[in-house]
A and B are shown apart, each in its own frame.
Chain A
């Protein structure tokens, strides 16, 4: 019984998980405070400028998402920096905690933890800045509405795309943020080239003399005739492609990135 409990504890223990989370927070809280102060200054300043010119009702939701995405991807790209720093890595690697616990701490603090943390901090900053705007200019912007559909979809999309940056953080020793963006750009170009070739293979006749013609499709029928498909079939292909892409984005991409990141994280040597 004792051996079984020891074996189980070697992979995941909530106690150790919270100790690791606490360690990450306490050793980084100065950075968090300084960043928060800088963001607060920026939000209050830009909000007052916007209030002065009476522009944009959705000021806070747009600024929040800009900060969430940009800041979140930068923070995520730095998630495993400690592992790649020869002077810091020994403490982290030899700290009694399993690889799964250490990885979970990094994943949660850079994904859902980051969303909730920034939402809380930003809401407080926005409330202060709008209080000031009301006092100074008699004009306020709408505050964040975290339960709106747009907010929830935006936050969920961040959690998915964040996985790509987490994988980048695990694979790139230095400048992970820039390298991840570069890799994603190259991947997009490669996918575009692949899609073009695939389309040419699937619909070989449709590309004959394409560069010479000035084709405009005024109706679905014209398009289906040109492609040599029935309208029903074309709509079905379109729906299937959309469904597959949605499943890949919302259900496959993030878990795939987390798994790849975890497998790489296990193998990082210090």
Chain B
């Protein structure tokens, strides 16, 4: 559904991606993690046709995104971290923009707005940043697009809104849909994003399903990580050390995405060696 092969891209002379390969298949909420400047937003822009690859291939639903053909755009919704809303009411926004999406679900939008406690008569410019974002998230999910690209969706949301968002997102996932979430707020997205994709140095350095990760890795608390063997990564936390080790028991363990991310960034070769093949 989304296939990126040997893709290169950079800003000016500085290369961001060189020979990037990734494939996204329907029925998943992908979590895209990476440090600042790793290229998460750029990757979303390349998929949505906002930026053009300098080399290699990017295909979305068999379309070339840079052609920006309606057949692809009707099935793709992108919510960036920084956005603009016109000075019109939410109801007017729906009337103007919903007809562009053939499978737009007006009832679902009304339900999501109710869930987010938003009044559709209110003007978008009178809303707070978090409320604007909630409206765009609700609208984007109600489009029923097969590909939803969300850049830092939980930034600016208050605590109740984050859980409402998780609930809506989980219910919106269908077998023919890809939800691709770029985030730094891994704790907000825990138990929701799966697989996990980590972007570093212009490459996808990690791309695994959670059940696969927890079968091969275990994260546990230790008093002294030096006394135990097989430590791939350790971080001092309240009450001891969070330690990432090879899972020898084969039993699935609970994943802490923040610890996992740091472990992969600091010890990517050894961690990847533990996995038989990529998803």
Contacts and interface: CB of A to CB of B under 8 A. Distances in A.
Contacts of A22: 96
Interface stretch (A46-54, A88-96, A252-260): A88-96
A12 to B, nearest CB: 10
Contact of A26 (B77, B88, B100): B88
A270 B45 contact: yes
B26 interface: no
Contact of B100 (A9, A16, A85, A93): A16
Given A85-B84, A94-B76, A27 B96 contact: yes
A86 B69 CA distance: 21
User: Is chain A's binding surface mostly helix, strand, loop or mixed?
Assistant: helix
A23 B98 CA distance: 11
A270 B86 contact: no
Contact of A10 (B71, B84, B92, B100): B71
Nearest to B102: A96
Contacts of B78: 90, 94
A6 B63 CA distance: 13
Given A27-B96, A269-B51, A87 B82 contact: yes
Interface string B27-48: 0000000000000000001001
B111 to A, nearest CB: 23
B68 interface: yes
Contacts of A269: 50-52
B75 to A, nearest CB: 8
B80 interface: yes
Contacts of A13: 70
Given A94-B77, A95-B100, A270-B45, A10 B69 contact: yes
A209 to B, nearest CB: 55
B260 to A, nearest CB: 30
B50 A23 contact: no
B11 to A, nearest CB: 10
B250 interface: no
Contacts of A99: 67-68
A94 B83 CA distance: 13
B156 to A, nearest CB: 14
A22 B98 CA distance: 13
A6 B75 CA distance: 14
Interface in B60-100: 67-71, 73-74, 76-78, 80, 82-84, 86-88, 92, 96-97, 99-100
Contacts of A90: 48, 50, 78, 80, 83
Contacts of A93: 48-50, 68
Contacts of A95: 73, 97, 100
B73 A27 contact: no
Given A91-B84, A94-B49, A26 B70 contact: no
Contact of B74 (A85, A96, A267): A96
Q: Which of A87, A94, A97 has the most CB of B within 10 A?
A: A94
A98 interface: yes
B241 interface: no
B101 interface: yes
A211 interface: no
Contacts of B87: 30
Given A93-B48, A96-B74, A99-B67, 17 more contacts: A6-B71, A10-B71, A16-B70, A16-B100, A19-B99, A26-B92, A27-B96, A30-B87, A90-B48, A90-B50, A91-B83, A95-B73, A96-B73, A97-B73, A97-B100, A269-B50, A269-B52
Nearest 8 Cβ contacts at the A-B interface: A96-B73, A270-B50, A87-B84, A96-B74, A96-B100, A10-B69, A88-B84, A96-B70
Interface of B: 45, 48-52, 67-71, 73-74, 76-78, 80, 82-84, 86-88, 92, 96-97, 99-101
Interface of A: 6, 9-11, 13, 16, 19, 22-23, 26-27, 30, 85-91, 93-99, 101, 267, 269-270
10 contacts: A23-B96, A85-B84, A87-B82, A90-B48, A93-B48, A93-B49, A95-B100, A99-B67, A269-B51, A270-B45
